Amino acid sequence: MSEKAFHERRPYLFVIVLEMAVIATAGIVGTITRKLGLPDHALYSGTMLVLGAITSLTLWKMKWWKTIGFRRLDAKDISLLIIPVIPMIGNMIGNYAPMEPGSFIYYLWLTMMVGFVEEGIYRGLMLRALLQKGVLQAVIFTSLLFSLAHTMNALAGWNWQRVLLQLGYSFALGFGWAAFALRTGTIWPLMLVHFLCNFFGFIKAGDLIKQVQSSRPGKGAMIYDIILTVVFIGYGIVVTRAYIKKEKLNHNRA
């Protein structure tokens, strides 16, 4: 009998190692860019390049591309995207700042990488590894880690109120998106939504990185984020329960 893989023997440790890889990468790249006096663009680019390589190599080594959800989305599940796309639609609405072609291409590339990396790690590798410990545990734990990963923005100089708001918001999004990934068995729609959500936010605000670092969230933005947090938590609970019910039915039929 072959020995179980590391993620099967120690799923929580596997997930923690991935989380530490995310934090360590951001910390190391951040230290290097600061020492060299490089701009913030270099920090985010370098971090995403390293994490993109880690994500791709891990998926390749584990042969998990299909396991995490690179497969066709069934037509009957398209309606489940109505809630997950709300942040993307919200970021599409508004005025767009003038932008140089180079900046446009940079934000396009960066947000594509963020969508692939964050979904591949949190709603892909982590979520699937923790399923053996229970569906709710997997969804909640990965959403919590996804939220905590955003505390690194505080180290980059972001306004603390915005960081706290983002922690709750990102946990809720992670919860809802994890439920979608499980219920549909696909992840690429989430990568696309995540990418477009961030992309429209960047190009709408111009140099968003500098702006966010020193700004406080307005009342309108706070109310919007709080409402979205409640909606995504509710969506996540309903869809996760539907997934658990479906799995029980399939198990009883087997």
Q: What is the pLDDT of residues 45-101, one digit of tens each?
A: 999 999 999 999 999 999 999 999 999 999 999 999 999 999 999 889 887 777 888
**Which has more confidence, 166 or 199?**
199
Q: How many Cβ atoms sit within 10 Å of the Cβ of residue 245?
A: 10
**pTM of the predicted model as reported, rounded to 2 decimal places:** 0.90
Residue 64 in any domain: the answer is yes
Amino acid identity, position 193:
V
In angstroms, the CA 239 to CA 203 distance is 32
DSSP-H helix ranges across 122-218: 127-130, 135-149, 152-155, 160-184, 188-205, 208-214
| Total domains, the chain | 1
Between 147 and 1, the higher pLDDT residue: 147
In a domain, 128, yes or no: yes
Let me know if residue 50 belongs to a domain: yes
For residue 208, is pLDDT > 90? no
- 1 in a domain, yes or no? no
Q: What is the mean pLDDT of the chain?
A: 88
206: pLDDT confidence band, cut at 50, 70 and 90?
low
195: in domain:
yes
Query: For 189-211, what is the mean pLDDT?
Result: 81
Res. 159 pLDDT band, cuts 50 70 90 = low
The whole-angstrom separation of Cα 128 and Cα 70 is 13
80 burial (CB, 10 Å; 0-12 / 13-18 / 19+) is buried
Range of the domain at 25: 6-253
Instruction: Classify residue 175: in a domain, yes or no.
Output: yes
